[in-house]
Amino acid sequence: MKPQTLLSALSLTLILAACAGSPTPGTTTDTGQVPGSTSDLNTVPQAVGPDTVEPAFDNVPIVSGDVHYQAPEPFPGKLPKDARLGEATIPSGARLSAQALPGNAQTDRVDLKVLVLSSGAGDFGIDSARAMLQQSGVPFDVLDASQQTLDQSRLINADGSGKYQGVILTTNALINESTPGVYTSTLDSGEWDTLFQYEAAYKVRQLALYGYPGVAPEDYGLRAVPGAETSTTSMTPSSAGKAVFKDLTGTALPVQYAYSYPSVPESVPGVKTTPLLTDPQGRVLAATSTAPDGRERLLLTVAENPYLLHTELMSYGLVQWLTKGVHLGEHRRFLQVDIDDFFSAGDHLNSATGQLYTKPFRMSAGDLISVYYQQRDIRSTFKAASDFRYSLVFNGGGAKTSAFGSCLFYWLSSDQLTSMAKCLKNDFDWVNHTKDHLRMDVMDLKTATDQIAGNFTIASQLGLPVNRKSLVTGEHSGLGNMDPTDDGSHNDDDVNLPKQDLGLGRSNPNMLQAADSAGVRYLGADHSVASQWDASCPTCGVVHPLDNKLFVMARWPINIYYYATNPAETLKGYNNVYAPGGTRPYWDHALNYSEFLDKESDLALTHMLGGGAFPHYMHQTNLNQYALGKSVASDWVQAALSKYSKYSTLPLNTYHWDDLGAYMQSHTTEEKAKAAGSLKGMWDRKTNTVVLSNLSAGTVPVTLTGADGGSLYGAYKSQVVSLSGNRTVGVTPR
């Protein structure tokens, strides 16, 4: 529609021409501008108000989709709100006597790997230890102290070098509560002596993820404050804490659903204690301390859980402290937001009736202009997201390739949205979503080729800088999440067949062949479908089992459903599911829009802090400008970034899809090599060099944080090396 701004420069002749039809590109207007000219396309379009009349369209794909449910809170596991501890009893050395260091001990050389010591079943911290190390790509071993003996053979290699650069205790005494209120260590005194001797000799730091501030098995110089125990508090970094948690802003970290033991420092001979995090009363909840034998230790007196915000926010800094900033892998954070079905029209929910409108919704040129300004405001407002841009996942069958590109006179076009897309083409990331959004679970090769390669052709005709190696199929179809009885007769209609996760092995081979032939290498998938992501490696993608040239990257669904254009419609869909009386009731009342954004941004924050590069996805309906400069998609982005920026300064990466695919594939190859034990690093702390070793055939990428070279991310440098055999790299520990 016509922009809602004063157009005094336009003559009555031009307005009459608009009523008669689209001008021919190259026709000069009485303003001196030529629609579609270089000067026109180099002009920033003016912002316009919300549309009151949707622009006319015909022969545009109409998209009906499924509602993909995302859990309303990020708490799938048992929360440690009752994770109580107490002073532990250490059994005398029944399993192990103290051992002397071997004669060939090389105390300056340690493998780049971490040892996690667990107390076995019911362990409070094992999930958190795994999560924080996986998020940073740090190799680790887990020793179950209730089943395995900790002797020197588990700590020192045959050549005398150390097996581990750091040690994590899931609780400081590795307790087993054999009877209520009785806490017994699963390591005996000889095992503790062996561990402490190793840490002292090899200068290995120790992190206790949760501990009672007492004296057993060793004294950290802290004492619990009687009666101060709580499961709800907050933690504020001290100046020393800011030096450990380098990315934190200094805002107090909320602690909920996690038992804690506020403590006060106690003078202990030979022990130097430095508080890192304190509660509102100034009592200590985290501290480093130096033992009389010189060992460096960090104790948290707050219980951890990988889905609780305080754990997620501390994880990055804890790993960097433990490893002295030198380790295999890296911790990198992302904000990728895909907008599906661009150029198409989609179902539109009536928030009053709960039914769909007869007329579908297709975003307008004015909406796209608004998104341009919303995106620009997001980048300028949030320093951590200075490179943010939306990925427009498009169906070219809904575009009009003959429409001229224009930033000023798009409203004269036969398809305003296409004209504005040509104007703003370099401001968004463009991803193939097939030509017509047809279901591809059961589709012949010719049609699949037309849908995939044909959409690339349309992108070329439109002049879009499309990612040439990336594809997201409609409804993520063709990847085995399907109706097993589907005969292909509903590929081009609105019937949403019931789906079952049949696995990637049931992918449509015609779709895979058509994608492969079109040069596609990266396939978007659905993170809510179990077979389409790798639970063993939470930051990895999946090599397609039927075609190893295709790499699958799961995307996070969002609880802003595909038929919502404004807050009222968003809430209607959400509360129909999660409010009392909904299909999956969860909350005790129907949420308002502010509450909805708060809950959804909690989920987004968990995903961002988790270090995975998986995109979130929404739909073109969600980009409707429901109020001046506002869309529900950007409301969600801003809510997530407001919450993230409150606590962390670590930059959020936004990659073009082809670059994202290449990064994810390289990262996955590296993580799988480390899991297989074929990728290693040996740190010589006398020379501050790391020998990287690839024990497998071929070349494998390896990332080294703390390298002297490479690129800076946050406070630490990391270097990526293509490795075959061995390579020595200089490092700088912190």
Spatial CB neighbours of 380, under 8 Å, sequence gap ≥ 6: none
State the Cα–Cα distance between residues 350 and 344, nearest whole angstrom. Answer: 19
User: Cα(73)–Cα(63) distance, rounded to whole angstroms?
Assistant: 29
Q: Determine contact, residues 187/225, Cβ cutoff 8 Å.
A: no
Q: Rounded to whole angstroms, what are the CA distances from 482 to 499, 501, 504?
A: 4, 7, 11
**From CA 228, how far away is CA 256, in angstroms rounded?**
15
pLDDT tens per residue, range 168-195: 999 999 999 888 889 999 999 999 999 9
Give the separation between CA 428 and CA 163, rounded to whole angstroms: 47
The gap from C-alpha 92 to its chain's centroid, in whole angstroms, comes to 46
pLDDT digit string (tens) for 688-716? 999 999 999 999 999 999 999 999 999 99
Taking only the tens place, the pLDDT of each residue in 518-575 is 999 999 999 999 999 999 999 999 999 999 999 999 999 999 999 999 999 999 999 9
* Cα-based distances in Å from 708 to 412, 704, 731, 733, 734: 57, 10, 5, 10, 12
pLDDT, one tens digit per residue, over 455-503 is 999 999 999 999 999 999 999 999 999 999 999 888 887 777 889 999 9
Q: Using CA of residue 503, residue 509, residue 514, residue 517, what is the dihedral sign?
A: positive
Give SS3 for 616: strand
Give the architecture (CATH level 2) of 12-63+333-657: Alpha-Beta Barrel (3.20)
Q: Is 221 exposed, middle or buried (0-12, 13-18, 19+ CB in 10 A)?
A: buried
Dist CA 45 CA 462 (whole Å): 19
Domain ranges of the chain: 12-63+333-657, 109-328, 679-730
DSSP string, 239-263: HHHHHHSTTB-SPPEEEEEEEE--E
Query: What is the structure's pLDDT at 78?
Result: 86
- Domain 109-328 class? alpha beta
* Cα(700)–Cα(117) distance, integer angstroms: 30
Q: What is the mean pLDDT of the chain?
A: 93
CA distances from 95 to 147, 150, 189, 455, 519 (A): 11, 9, 9, 67, 60
SS3 136: helix
Q: Does the pLDDT value for residue 11 go beyond 80?
A: no
